[in-house]
Structure 1
Amino acid sequence: MKILSGGLTMLMLGLSTTFAQSVQQNNSPVSPATLPSIFPAPVSVKLGKGAVVWGNSAVLVFSADTDPEAVKIVRSSLKMAGVQNITTTTKLPSVLDRPYVVLGTGKSALVRTALKRTDAALDTHAEGYTITSEVTGGGVLITLAGKDADGLFHATQTFRQLAQRQVVPALEIQDHPAMPIRGTIEGFYGAPWSMTDRTKHLNFLATVKANTYIYSPKDDPYARDKWREAYPAATLKELAKLVETSRINHINFVYAISPGPTVCFSDPADLKALELKFDALRSIGVHSFYVALDDIEYTKWNCERDKETFGPSGPEAAGNAQSFLLNALQANLKRKDPTAPPLIMVPTEYYDAKESPYKAALRKKLDPQIVLQWTGTDVVPPAISVRDAKAATKAFGRKTLLWDNYPVNDYGESTGRLLMAPYAKREAGLSHELSGILSNPMNQEAPSRVAVTGVAAFAWNDKAYDAERVWHASARELSGGDARTTAALLTFFDTQRLAPTFGSQPWQEQAPVLKAVLDQVRDAIASGDVQARREAIAGLIKHADEFANVPDIIRAGVADSSFAQTSQPWLDAMQLWGKAFQLTAAGLNAADQGSVAAERYFASAKRFAADATAIQTIKGATRFGGAVKIADGVLDTFVADAPTLIAVD
């Protein structure tokens, strides 16, 4: 490792190149230290003096009680940075002759000593952490200090990003999450994720500093239709593996049950059945539970006993009945596990903040500890403001946990789409009005990571959130840092940028980047300027070639092959659209030169476009299958219009 300092001389320490070197900054071939990009954005990052260039030696310093997974991540990050000789110790020497990485929580005297040596204070917020790196003579001291075990784990994820840089500046990071609950709820209709998908997703959530995963697949019969029945031993064993993966990744695994269609709220037997189900899950390590009462009727009772107990059916009676059952469950949870997180519920009226008898009943009767979910101003809201969240707080009598129905694609308006627009139109400041945000992802796990990265980044630091920059960061992660694959992914994302709602007006438009290119070509042709037209067509030919190559670049370069597998119909369709695009560009070029070959090019483009339009989604993968859509309304319109733009004699 080399250390770039502001000193005036070069001092070689040690007899081996594995030791640290102090290098005169002005004469160094390495570029100056620069502020790193970290996602989610930290609360504070301050540059110090000097920087570190990774070499092949480092020492890890940690106590016996340090999270083994945190140590593993740091070690792996150093290896990826090219550091081959990594040794460990439990003591920090007074004089450093090489790079030392100290990690642990603020409870550790070792960590407190390291922070003191760099004049840094520990971030004291829950899940908070402090990272310092400082050039000290012939060595460098890097400290990863967590307020708690979760904070330390988050610190290692930031370190992983820092270690990807060739030059790591001396700096101090103070960081903690704005919202206490951040993650996903597997709550979509249609084909559920496989256990492999879920494992990959939990590993991914760790990298974006999420802390919650709710297991709520709509077609798990033992959580819905057969909720009173015990899980088969084999299924419980598989769930136990997910719970352990969650624990390793510092993710709170929440088990959700959906008894609403058949439950008798006042029946002690049904309360007992729910408690027994929770006991079984608790035996495999689950400590957090959830009751879903969405998408059910509350205008009729499931049993006469409820009518006798709560009166005639209706919204207010439903709120009273639900509160009665959930309060009993919450009390039971606290008796059996006093440290367990509060029960979470999703109400029957989950999609607006309007005052109603049902909400009033929950506000008055539901235990205030119970966390309540809310989807915003609609089932799929086009935007969510601070004012909206305040209205929900008033209506439900508590801060709500936002169930954000993005990027879920299990409804009719999303048919044929992957939803991969940036996570946007959520107002900064929501962290003051919400208890957290959970994204409802797509049936396609790996493509869902694009939007979920944004959700996690917003929930971590909504004030510093930049939707476009985080969108680009998600592409870099999926590409494994390869620039060519990153560019290809962003082009692909652009063709899937339309974000629909339950109405006719989408909340994000389709393919704005591609549209800008095509609009510029239209304008150049319409201007009548020969030179401008020819330059625009030449640029279009290049752009079409790049577009056509995107699917192959993604298939070969994406870090997780499951992204290409679940996106296969869209990549196949894009390849055909790419050929149609190339032929359209060739047709415009021929037309501009007065060649009759233009007609053949346009005719071939039309055939490829028809073939692309015929490609269907994977059967059974989503709730609604249908024709795959690629930059619809943009590329198809241009291909159709192109033959009319330039007359051929």
Structure 2
Amino acid sequence: MTTFPSISSLGENSSVIQNWCERNNYSYLGDQGGEIQITASYSTEARFTYLEELGSISDEIYQLELSGELPRCKVNIICSGERALRYALNAVSFKIKRGEWREGVEFDYPRFPIRGIIEGFYGQPWNQEQRLSMLSFIASNNMNTYVYGPKDDVYHRERWQDLYDEESYTKLGDVFSESTALGLDFYYCIAPGLSMRYSSEEQFEALVRKVRQIYELGVKKFCLLLDDIPEELQHQEDIRIYSDLVEAHIRLVNRFYTEIMNWDAGIRLVVCPTQYWGNGNERYISLLGSSIHPSIDLFWTGRNICSPEITLSEAAVFTQNTYRKPLYWDNYPVNDVEMTDEMHIGPYRQRDRHLYRFSRGVIANGMEYAESSKISYATIASYLWNPEQYDPEASWRDALKEVVGQSDFEHMLQFADNVRYSCLYLTDSPMLAAELTRFNFSYFYGDRKQAIDDLERFVLKMNESAAVLLSGGMENQALQKELKRWILKFSVGIAVLQDCMNYIRSQSMDDLMVVRHNYELYRSDLTYVFSDVLSSFLNKVLEEYYSAK
């Protein structure tokens, strides 16, 4: 377990450092007495306020100078603003937790300007405790944006015209306040498209009134979601007035944007179009992009709803046809709708390492399983900070340690390696697959007994991990509860593997019948673990591929 040194600070930014310490479980001792002494100052020099490679102003640049060895050492931070100071402090914490403390100077900044998550899935929205915990988590991983838009919040979509009741409004205000305190941009989403009559003055006024209620909390960033609705006009009044859906949407977006900008010049708007995936040059998205105000960002998921990869050429096509860089709504790790049997806790992959040069940023859609989502989110945060140096596997292992806890890491790694399947990783179980490949070769071309013994040792190691994860004693109890269904399937799969080893060793038809029976039970549970790796091996066993004859 990591021992956190105490911290003291000097200078005008001590209140920010104190607040950060309190939120991250460090003991803060004021201006003296701390084992780590931190001095922080803001700079308006160009190198701290302007990113040459991106040609943009930034408040997220910092320089970190470390001197001395833990636990007694000094930290000097120069940065562009409060948000950058938080990132520098996060860097100090990561170095302590990962044993990477080194004297020296480093200059760092994020590559993507917008880095965050959206609570935008179908299913049970996160409760308030989960939501607030998630805000703290993404802030500690240097994300800067939280987007509120759960599909099953009735006030967001189904009852979009209705003002929030007092209790719901207060909770939303608390989320906004906490986001602000953590240095996160809070976006509120409203999704009127399922029922809205675009030609109705009354309904437009209802939309404005609802968003005004949220603005009065202090919110200045909004998303108008027009996704997952019919692709043609539904109301006769609209059909008479507009030639098609995109004309209605152009009119709505521009009028809505003009209205809210009259309240405050600092307001920002993102629109999710009805056609939110594809090549980026289709008629709807091209007309919408070329016709709405250039300051409005557009969400885009890539060439698929859940895109297996996102490339620079795809971003270029979108930019050329919509006259703006895409803001990616990335549907990972979300596992709603047809994906509910899957658990997406693998690392972020297949996004171009130069994508930051051709996009506004990435907002990652989560699962209703909040704790489980954090594993993938940590890897996404790592990619978004510096995609050119991003290592998916190294980041994933760091994420597992952070979310699961060091004491359960090795056992969780054994399990998690068998639930990687998603749109980003269309196979699974790389460690098991490699072990089965070695077994297959050794069984037929080497020492057969040794091959069986080696595979059994591997299976017993997995079985030990399954037993620990099912014991109820995990450090992260909320995570254990969320993953229980998949851990149980993992355990059942291991048991069938053990049955296979018994048969291969004994060559008994009775043992083969046990494999057949238990394999049918295993297949009857649609929970997705092992992908095809285990099934392929089991089918070979049932076909008597490993017959000793």
TM-score of the pair, normalised by structure 1: 0.76
Q: Name the counterpart of 2:158.
A: 225
Change (3 A) 1:253 1:551: farther
Change (3 A) 1:470 1:165: closer
Is 1:392 paired with 2:318? yes
Q: Deviations over 1:76-132 (max 9, x none)?
A: 34x5xxxxxx63218xxxxxx985422544159xxx9xxxxxxxx857542222211
- Which of 354, 360, 378 in structure 1 is aligned with 2:304? 378
Q: How many angstroms does 1:307 deviate by?
A: 4.3
Change (3 A) 1:584 1:357: closer
Instruction: Tell me the matched-pair count.
Output: 536
Aligned residue type for 2:333: P
- The whole-number CA distance in structure 2 between the counterparts of 1:146 and 1:208 is 18
Q: Name the counterpart of 1:297.
A: 230
- The whole-number CA distance in structure 2 between the counterparts of 1:244 and 1:565 is 29
Q: How many angstroms does 1:231 deviate by?
A: 1.1
Q: Name the counterpart of 1:70.
A: 20
- The whole-number CA distance in structure 1 between the counterparts of 2:15 and 2:261 is 29
Q: Which residues of 2 match residues 247-326 of structure 1 at below 5 A? A: 247-302=180-235, 304=237, 306-307=238-239, 309-310=241-242, 312=243, 314=244, 318-326=245-253
Aligned residue type for 2:22: K
Change (3 A) 1:228 1:209: same
Q: Name the counterpart of 1:176.
A: 109
Is 1:489 paired with 2:412? yes
Q: Which residues of 2 match residues 99-118 of structure 1 at below 5 A? A: 99-106=35-42
Is 1:196 paired with 2:129? yes
Q: How many angstroms does 1:334 deviate by?
A: 2.6
- The whole-number CA distance in structure 2 between the counterparts of 1:632 and 1:134 is 49
Q: Deviations over 1:167-222 (max 9, x none)?
A: 72102221111111111112222232222222222222112211112111112221
- Which of 516, 528, 540 in structure 2 is aligned with 1:641? 540
Aligned residue type for 1:357: R
Is 1:159 paired with 2:108? no
- CA contact 1:70–1:152 (8 Å) conserved in 2: no
- CA contact 1:372–1:401 (8 Å) conserved in 2: yes
- CA contact 1:548–1:577 (8 Å) conserved in 2: no
Query: SS in structure 1 opposite 2:249?
Result: helix
Aligned residue type for 1:195: Q
- The whole-number CA distance in structure 2 between the counterparts of 1:395 and 1:356 is 9
- The whole-number CA distance in structure 1 between the counterparts of 2:310 and 2:13 is 45
- CA contact 2:279–2:302 (8 Å) conserved in 1: yes
Change (3 A) 1:106 1:277: same
Aligned residue type for 2:460: D
Is 1:518 paired with 2:436? yes
Q: Name the counterpart of 1:11.
A: none
Larger radius of gyration: 1
Is 1:546 paired with 2:472? no
Query: SS in structure 2 opposite 1:88?
Result: coil
Q: How many angstroms does 1:640 deviate by?
A: 4.0
Report which stretch shifted further, 382-391 or 582-591: 582-591
- The whole-number CA distance in structure 2 between the counterparts of 1:58 and 1:241 is 29
Aligned residue type for 1:408: V
- Which of 176, 186, 189 in structure 1 is aligned with 2:119? 186
- The whole-number CA distance in structure 2 between the counterparts of 1:558 and 1:368 is 50
Q: Which residues of 2 match residues 121-160 of structure 1 at below 5 A? A: 125-135=58-68, 140-160=73-93
Q: Name the counterpart of 1:26.
A: none
Q: Name the counterpart of 2:55.
A: none
Report which stretch shifted further, 361-370 or 97-106: 97-106
- The whole-number CA distance in structure 1 between the counterparts of 2:223 and 2:522 is 43
Aligned residue type for 1:636: S
Q: How many angstroms does 1:477 deviate by?
A: 1.0
- CA contact 1:399–1:434 (8 Å) conserved in 2: yes
Query: SS in structure 1 opposite 2:8?
Result: strand
- CA contact 2:8–2:36 (8 Å) conserved in 1: yes
Aligned residue type for 2:94: Q
Query: SS in structure 1 opposite 2:136?
Result: helix
- CA contact 1:101–1:144 (8 Å) conserved in 2: no
- The whole-number CA distance in structure 2 between the counterparts of 1:336 and 1:55 is 46
Q: How many angstroms does 1:286 deviate by?
A: 2.3
Is 1:60 paired with 2:9? yes
- CA contact 1:548–1:582 (8 Å) conserved in 2: no
- The whole-number CA distance in structure 1 between the counterparts of 2:334 and 2:234 is 31
Aligned residue type for 1:366: I
- Which of 417, 421, 424 in structure 2 is aligned with 1:498? 421
Query: SS in structure 1 opposite 2:106?
Result: strand
- The whole-number CA distance in structure 1 between the counterparts of 2:388 and 2:330 is 18
- The whole-number CA distance in structure 2 between the counterparts of 1:105 and 1:607 is 68
- CA contact 2:5–2:35 (8 Å) conserved in 1: no
- The whole-number CA distance in structure 2 between the counterparts of 1:471 and 1:554 is 19
Aligned residue type for 1:175: D
- The whole-number CA distance in structure 2 between the counterparts of 1:64 and 1:166 is 26
Change (3 A) 1:167 1:496: closer
Change (3 A) 1:362 1:196: same
- CA contact 1:574–1:630 (8 Å) conserved in 2: yes
Change (3 A) 1:183 1:236: same
- Which of 391, 407, 410 in structure 2 is aligned with 1:466? 391
Q: Name the counterpart of 2:139.
A: 206
Report which stretch shifted further, 277-286 or 215-224: 277-286
Change (3 A) 1:479 1:123: farther
- CA contact 1:525–1:645 (8 Å) conserved in 2: no
Aligned residue type for 1:89: D
Q: How many angstroms does 1:557 deviate by?
A: 6.2
- The whole-number CA distance in structure 2 between the counterparts of 1:459 and 1:59 is 31
Query: SS in structure 1 opposite 2:131?
Result: helix
Is 1:569 paired with 2:485? yes
- Which of 503, 516, 531 in structure 2 is aligned with 1:632? 531
Change (3 A) 1:394 1:64: closer
Q: Cα RMSD over matched residues? A: 2.8
5+ residue gaps, structure 1, are 1-52, 80-85, 91-96, 113-120, 501-505, 592-597, 616-626
